[in-house]
A and B are shown apart, each in its own frame.
Chain A
Amino acid sequence: DAKTTQPPSMDCAEGRAANLPCNHSTISGNEYVYWYRQIHSQGPQYIIHGLKNNETNEMASLIITEDRKSSTLILPHATLRDTAVYYCIVRGTGGGADGLTFGKGTHLIIQP
Protein backbone atom coordinates (compact mmCIF):
# COMPACT_ATOMS: atom_id res chain seq x y z
CA ASP A 1 0.00 0.00 0.00
CA ALA A 2 1.24 3.47 -0.84
CA LYS A 3 2.45 5.74 1.94
CA THR A 4 0.57 8.92 2.75
CA THR A 5 1.71 12.24 4.21
CA GLN A 6 -0.61 14.51 6.16
CA PRO A 7 -0.02 17.65 8.24
CA PRO A 8 -0.03 16.75 11.93
CA SER A 9 -2.61 19.35 12.88
CA MET A 10 -4.94 21.99 11.49
CA ASP A 11 -7.34 24.54 12.88
CA CYS A 12 -10.58 25.63 11.27
CA ALA A 13 -13.29 28.06 12.36
CA GLU A 14 -16.72 26.68 13.04
CA GLY A 15 -19.01 27.08 10.04
CA ARG A 16 -16.18 27.33 7.57
CA ALA A 17 -15.04 24.64 5.16
CA ALA A 18 -12.24 22.44 6.45
CA ASN A 19 -9.84 21.29 3.75
CA LEU A 20 -7.55 18.45 4.77
CA PRO A 21 -4.72 17.61 2.39
CA CYS A 22 -3.05 14.26 1.82
CA ASN A 23 -0.05 13.42 -0.35
CA HIS A 24 0.25 9.95 -1.82
CA SER A 25 2.80 10.36 -4.59
CA THR A 26 3.54 6.62 -4.89
CA ILE A 27 -0.07 5.56 -5.35
CA SER A 28 -0.57 2.90 -7.99
CA GLY A 29 -3.36 2.44 -10.47
CA ASN A 30 -5.54 0.05 -8.49
CA GLU A 31 -5.26 1.78 -5.13
CA TYR A 32 -8.14 3.66 -3.59
CA VAL A 33 -7.91 6.66 -1.28
CA TYR A 34 -9.88 6.20 1.94
CA TRP A 35 -10.60 8.72 4.66
CA TYR A 36 -11.50 7.83 8.22
CA ARG A 37 -11.72 9.94 11.33
CA GLN A 38 -11.42 9.14 15.02
CA ILE A 39 -13.04 11.25 17.65
CA HIS A 40 -11.30 11.00 21.00
CA SER A 41 -11.82 7.63 22.74
CA GLN A 42 -14.08 6.28 20.01
CA GLY A 43 -13.59 3.82 17.18
CA PRO A 44 -12.71 5.25 13.78
CA GLN A 45 -15.51 6.29 11.46
CA TYR A 46 -15.47 5.70 7.72
CA ILE A 47 -15.97 8.96 5.81
CA ILE A 48 -15.44 8.49 2.10
CA HIS A 49 -13.27 6.82 -0.50
CA GLY A 50 -12.39 7.30 -4.16
CA LEU A 51 -10.30 5.95 -6.98
CA LYS A 52 -9.84 8.82 -9.44
CA ASN A 53 -13.09 10.73 -9.69
CA ASN A 54 -14.16 13.30 -7.13
CA GLU A 55 -16.67 11.92 -4.68
CA THR A 56 -19.28 13.47 -2.42
CA ASN A 57 -21.52 12.04 0.26
CA GLU A 58 -23.50 13.38 3.18
CA MET A 59 -20.39 13.82 5.28
CA ALA A 60 -17.74 15.20 2.97
CA SER A 61 -16.27 15.66 -0.47
CA LEU A 62 -13.10 14.05 -1.75
CA ILE A 63 -11.09 15.81 -4.43
CA ILE A 64 -8.38 13.72 -6.09
CA THR A 65 -5.87 15.41 -8.38
CA GLU A 66 -5.68 14.26 -11.96
CA ASP A 67 -2.30 12.58 -11.41
CA ARG A 68 -3.73 10.99 -8.23
CA LYS A 69 -0.68 11.96 -6.24
CA SER A 70 -2.65 13.97 -3.73
CA SER A 71 -6.16 14.48 -2.47
CA THR A 72 -8.18 16.81 -0.28
CA LEU A 73 -11.00 15.95 2.07
CA ILE A 74 -13.49 18.78 2.39
CA LEU A 75 -15.90 19.18 5.28
CA PRO A 76 -18.15 21.90 3.85
CA HIS A 77 -19.46 23.45 7.07
CA ALA A 78 -17.34 22.34 9.99
CA THR A 79 -18.90 22.01 13.43
CA LEU A 80 -17.31 21.49 16.84
CA ARG A 81 -18.22 17.80 16.56
CA ASP A 82 -15.89 17.48 13.59
CA THR A 83 -12.87 17.88 15.89
CA ALA A 84 -11.05 14.58 15.43
CA VAL A 85 -7.98 12.90 13.98
CA TYR A 86 -8.45 12.38 10.24
CA TYR A 87 -6.65 9.54 8.52
CA CYS A 88 -5.93 9.31 4.82
CA ILE A 89 -5.21 5.71 3.81
CA VAL A 90 -4.28 4.35 0.42
CA ARG A 91 -4.73 0.71 -0.30
CA GLY A 92 -5.40 -1.58 -3.19
CA THR A 93 -8.17 -4.07 -3.55
CA GLY A 94 -6.14 -6.64 -5.41
CA GLY A 95 -5.22 -8.39 -2.19
CA GLY A 96 -8.82 -8.73 -1.11
CA ALA A 97 -9.75 -8.23 2.52
CA ASP A 98 -6.73 -6.70 4.21
CA GLY A 99 -6.52 -4.70 7.40
CA LEU A 100 -5.78 -1.01 7.32
CA THR A 101 -2.45 0.65 8.03
CA PHE A 102 -3.03 3.87 9.94
CA GLY A 103 -0.50 6.69 9.86
CA LYS A 104 -0.47 9.56 12.32
CA GLY A 105 -3.26 11.48 10.62
CA THR A 106 -4.22 15.13 10.96
CA HIS A 107 -5.64 16.40 14.21
CA LEU A 108 -8.34 18.83 13.08
CA ILE A 109 -9.47 21.27 15.72
CA ILE A 110 -12.61 23.25 15.04
CA GLN A 111 -12.54 26.57 16.84
CA PRO A 112 -15.77 28.22 18.03
Chain B
Amino acid sequence: GAVVSQHPSRVICKSGTSVKIECRSLDFQATTMFWYRQFPKKSLMLMATSNEGSKATYEQGVEKDKFLINHASLTLSTLTVTSAHPEDSSFYICSVMGQGISYEQYFGPGTRLTVT
Protein backbone atom coordinates (compact mmCIF):
# COMPACT_ATOMS: atom_id res chain seq x y z
CA GLY B 1 0.00 0.00 0.00
CA ALA B 2 0.85 3.68 -0.13
CA VAL B 3 2.19 5.83 2.69
CA VAL B 4 0.40 9.14 3.03
CA SER B 5 1.23 11.96 5.41
CA GLN B 6 -0.66 15.08 6.39
CA HIS B 7 0.54 18.26 7.99
CA PRO B 8 -0.37 19.63 10.41
CA SER B 9 -2.04 16.92 12.46
CA ARG B 10 -3.88 19.51 14.53
CA VAL B 11 -4.48 23.20 14.03
CA ILE B 12 -6.42 25.82 15.93
CA CYS B 13 -7.16 29.09 14.19
CA LYS B 14 -9.28 32.14 14.74
CA SER B 15 -12.43 32.81 12.81
CA GLY B 16 -11.77 34.64 9.57
CA THR B 17 -8.25 33.35 9.03
CA SER B 18 -7.12 30.83 6.42
CA VAL B 19 -5.53 27.46 7.06
CA LYS B 20 -3.50 25.29 4.69
CA ILE B 21 -3.37 21.51 5.06
CA GLU B 22 -0.79 19.47 3.17
CA CYS B 23 -1.19 15.91 1.93
CA ARG B 24 1.87 14.05 0.73
CA SER B 25 2.22 10.71 -1.01
CA LEU B 26 5.55 9.48 0.32
CA ASP B 27 6.29 6.41 -1.74
CA PHE B 28 4.72 6.82 -5.14
CA GLN B 29 3.50 9.44 -7.52
CA ALA B 30 -0.21 10.07 -7.15
CA THR B 31 -2.03 11.62 -10.09
CA THR B 32 -5.27 11.59 -8.12
CA MET B 33 -5.84 12.52 -4.51
CA PHE B 34 -9.08 12.97 -2.62
CA TRP B 35 -10.13 15.21 0.24
CA TYR B 36 -12.71 14.16 2.80
CA ARG B 37 -14.04 15.70 5.98
CA GLN B 38 -15.59 14.05 8.97
CA PHE B 39 -17.72 15.71 11.61
CA PRO B 40 -17.92 14.18 15.10
CA LYS B 41 -19.68 10.81 15.18
CA LYS B 42 -20.30 10.95 11.43
CA SER B 43 -18.88 9.14 8.44
CA LEU B 44 -16.37 10.58 6.04
CA MET B 45 -17.80 12.78 3.33
CA LEU B 46 -15.99 13.28 0.04
CA MET B 47 -15.27 16.95 -0.60
CA ALA B 48 -13.27 16.97 -3.80
CA THR B 49 -11.07 15.08 -6.20
CA SER B 50 -7.67 16.57 -6.79
CA ASN B 51 -5.95 15.85 -10.09
CA GLU B 52 -2.33 16.75 -10.68
CA GLY B 53 -1.96 19.62 -13.08
CA SER B 54 -5.66 20.38 -13.43
CA LYS B 55 -8.51 21.91 -11.48
CA ALA B 56 -10.07 19.97 -8.67
CA THR B 57 -13.55 18.53 -8.98
CA TYR B 58 -15.81 19.43 -6.07
CA GLU B 59 -18.77 17.51 -4.70
CA GLN B 60 -22.16 19.12 -4.66
CA GLY B 61 -22.50 21.53 -1.78
CA VAL B 62 -18.77 22.09 -1.30
CA GLU B 63 -17.74 25.67 -2.07
CA LYS B 64 -14.70 25.71 -4.32
CA ASP B 65 -13.85 29.29 -3.41
CA LYS B 66 -13.82 28.42 0.26
CA PHE B 67 -11.89 25.16 0.02
CA LEU B 68 -9.01 25.82 -2.35
CA ILE B 69 -7.21 22.75 -3.62
CA ASN B 70 -3.84 22.77 -5.32
CA HIS B 71 -2.23 19.61 -6.71
CA ALA B 72 0.90 21.03 -8.26
CA SER B 73 3.04 17.91 -8.06
CA LEU B 74 2.57 14.16 -8.09
CA THR B 75 3.36 13.92 -4.40
CA LEU B 76 1.65 16.94 -2.88
CA SER B 77 -1.89 18.25 -2.69
CA THR B 78 -2.92 21.13 -0.46
CA LEU B 79 -6.31 22.14 0.90
CA THR B 80 -6.72 25.72 2.05
CA VAL B 81 -9.74 26.58 4.15
CA THR B 82 -10.27 30.27 3.50
CA SER B 83 -11.96 32.63 5.94
CA ALA B 84 -12.56 29.77 8.33
CA HIS B 85 -15.57 29.79 10.64
CA PRO B 86 -16.42 27.60 13.63
CA GLU B 87 -18.69 25.43 11.47
CA ASP B 88 -15.60 24.48 9.41
CA SER B 89 -14.16 22.75 12.47
CA SER B 90 -13.79 19.15 11.41
CA PHE B 91 -11.41 16.27 10.75
CA TYR B 92 -9.95 16.64 7.24
CA ILE B 93 -8.51 13.54 5.61
CA CYS B 94 -6.82 13.04 2.28
CA SER B 95 -6.32 9.86 0.33
CA VAL B 96 -4.37 8.73 -2.69
CA MET B 97 -5.45 6.28 -5.32
CA GLY B 98 -3.49 3.04 -5.38
CA GLN B 99 -1.65 1.92 -8.46
CA GLY B 100 -3.61 -1.29 -8.87
CA ILE B 101 -6.41 -1.70 -11.36
CA SER B 102 -9.03 -1.95 -8.63
CA TYR B 103 -8.59 1.59 -7.33
CA GLU B 104 -8.14 0.99 -3.62
CA GLN B 105 -7.39 4.16 -1.65
CA TYR B 106 -4.83 4.87 1.03
CA PHE B 107 -5.57 7.52 3.59
CA GLY B 108 -3.55 10.04 5.50
CA PRO B 109 -3.75 10.29 9.29
CA GLY B 110 -6.04 13.30 9.14
CA THR B 111 -5.89 16.92 10.30
CA ARG B 112 -8.06 18.13 13.16
CA LEU B 113 -9.11 21.72 12.51
CA THR B 114 -10.65 23.78 15.28
CA VAL B 115 -11.85 27.29 14.48
CA THR B 116 -12.45 29.52 17.50
In the bound complex, how far is the Cα of B95 from the Cα of A46, in angstroms? 11
Contact with A along B91-103 (1 / 0, CB 8 A): 1010101100111
Residues from chain A with Cβ under 8 Å of B105 in the complex: 36, 46, 100
Instruction: Give, as a whole number of angstroms, the nearest-CB distance from A34 to chain B.
Output: 6
The number of chain A residues with a CB under 8 A from chain B is 25
Query: Range of interface residues on chain B?
Result: 20 to 34
B55 to chain A, nearest CB (A): 15
- With A46-B1, A99-B34, A99-B46 known as contacts, the answer to whether A41 contacts B101 (CB < 8 A) is no
Which residues of chain B have C-beta atoms less than 8 A from A87's C-beta? 43
Contact (Cβ within 8 A) B103 A93: yes
Given contacts A100-B46, A104-B43, contact A42 B106 (CB under 8 A): no
Point out the residue from B6, B49, B107 that lies within 8 Å of A45, measured CB to CB.
B107
From residue B51, how far is it (CB to closest CB) to chain A in Å?
8
* B78-93 interface with A by 8 A CB criterion: 91, 93
Alpha-carbon separation in the docked complex, A96 to B101 (Å): 9
User: Is A76 part of the contact surface with B, judged by Cβ < 8 Å?
Assistant: no
Main secondary structure of the interface of B (DSSP, over half): strand
Interface of A is mostly: loop
Complex contact B43–A42 (CB within 8 A): no
CB of B109 within 8 A of CB of A43, answer: yes
25 A–B pairs (Cβ distance < 8 Å), ordered by A: A32-B102, A36-B107, A38-B44, A41-B91, A41-B112, A42-B110, A43-B4, A43-B108, A43-B110, A46-B106, A87-B43, A91-B103, A93-B102, A93-B103, A96-B103, A97-B32, A97-B49, A98-B49, A99-B46, A99-B59, A100-B95, A100-B105, A101-B46, A102-B45, A104-B43
Interface, chain B (partner A; CB < 8 A):
1, 4, 6, 31-32, 34, 36, 43-46, 49, 59, 91, 93, 95, 97-98, 101-110, 112
